[in-house]
Amino acid sequence: MRGHPPPTALDPRLHAALRRLDLRVVRRLEGLLHGEHLGLRLGPGSEPAEARLYQPGEDDVRLMDWSVTARTTAPHVRDPVADRELESWTLLDLSASMDFGTGHQEKRDIAIGALAAVNVLTQRVGDRFGAHFLHRGQIRRWPARSGKTALPALLATVAAAPRTRPGADGGATFADALHDLSRTRGRRGLRVVISDFLDTPPEAGAEPPWERPMRRLAVRHQVLAVEVIDPRELDLPDIGLVAMTDPESGRTREVHVSAKVRRDYRAAALAQRAAVQAGLRRCGVPHLVLRTDRDWIVDMARFVVEQRRTAHRLARHTPAVPR
């Protein structure tokens, strides 16, 4: 509930429910260790690639492709793709605007829950995950780890991070944090970006400041963008005169919430959400929206099921790995 500190571990029932799902990684990886995800290079693995002529004394007869051999009347083997481990990194926006919520939870709590859920959904044997945090204008890094204790330790670290005071967010921006993640983590894998994207200009056609680093990130990695929003960021109640504080700058201003102000605010909020969606679409990044007034676990489960269908369609049309 709102006001309670986020847990340092997932509820066992939630953990069991998420374990029945999996967030498919369709990009090929370039890890060094044996894992359960498709690699970029040929090697010992379970996924067949292309067929080639059998080289006596060099090839393992257990890799013989009998279908191609029968069609060509010449012995052929099929090279497998090496199975590699997944290295996933999450960029978690902990700026002052995330310490807000008028629904069942604050945006910060939902963002931490999404961080935990994504790692549960993707982790297999040998996989590692790490995180970057944008907190009080500084970019902080949590090294990639694996094992059962890694996730509780990560959640405890995030839960211990103090709230950002209004006006204390100067320094690194969200775009800077994206650039830092792209620059420092080069190995192909999964990148999850969790933010409210409130620094997106609502003007039609304007490029968000985070779009270029997001596009560079998506060129090399599989990226998932998680947008966390609150209903009061989309519409204002009819409450008359009210004092409003910008959590990023700390400025306070009295506003008379008239019918015109509500109408203009709603139009600007919808334009901003449309700009976020358009920017992520141009980057080719899947977009998951979580709200503080909805059951975010249900929304995430629906997204994962739809993403699994998309991954299945992509797998059917993916060509063999070239030699």
Concatenated DSSP letters for 86-109? -EEEEEEE-SGGGS--SSSS-HHH
Lowest mean pLDDT among 186-190, 272-276, 306-310: 306-310
Whole-number pLDDT of residue 168: 61
CB atoms within 10 A of CB 245: 13
CB-based contacts of 306, cutoff 8 Å, min separation 6 = none
Whole-number pLDDT of residue 13: 55
Name the CATH architecture for the domain at 12-19+85-305. 3-Layer(aba) Sandwich (3.40)
* Crossing angle for the helix pair 211-220 and 174-184, to the nearest 10 degrees: 20
Angle, CA of 218, 220 and 224, to the nearest 5°: 35
Whole-number pLDDT of residue 49: 55
Alpha helix segments (H runs only) across the chain: 12-19, 66-72, 107-122, 150-159, 174-184, 211-220, 259-283, 296-317
Coil/strand/helix, residue 84: strand
**Per-residue pLDDT reduced to its tens digit, 173-201:** 999 999 999 999 888 888 999 999 998 88
Angle, CA of 185, 189 and 195, to the nearest 5°: 70
**Per-residue pLDDT reduced to its tens digit, 1-60:** 344 444 445 556 555 555 555 555 544 444 433 444 444 344 444 445 567 888 887 788
Query: Which segments of the chain belong to CATH 3.40.50.410?
Result: 12-19+85-305
Q: How far apart are CA 15 and CA 4, in angstroms?
A: 20
Q: How far apart are CA 82 and CA 79, in angstroms?
A: 9
pTM, to two decimals: 0.74
Whole-number pLDDT of residue 129: 87
Q: How far apart are CA 173 and CA 197, in angstroms?
A: 11
Whether the CA torsion 141, 143, 145, 148 is positive or negative: it is negative
Whole-number pLDDT of residue 298: 87
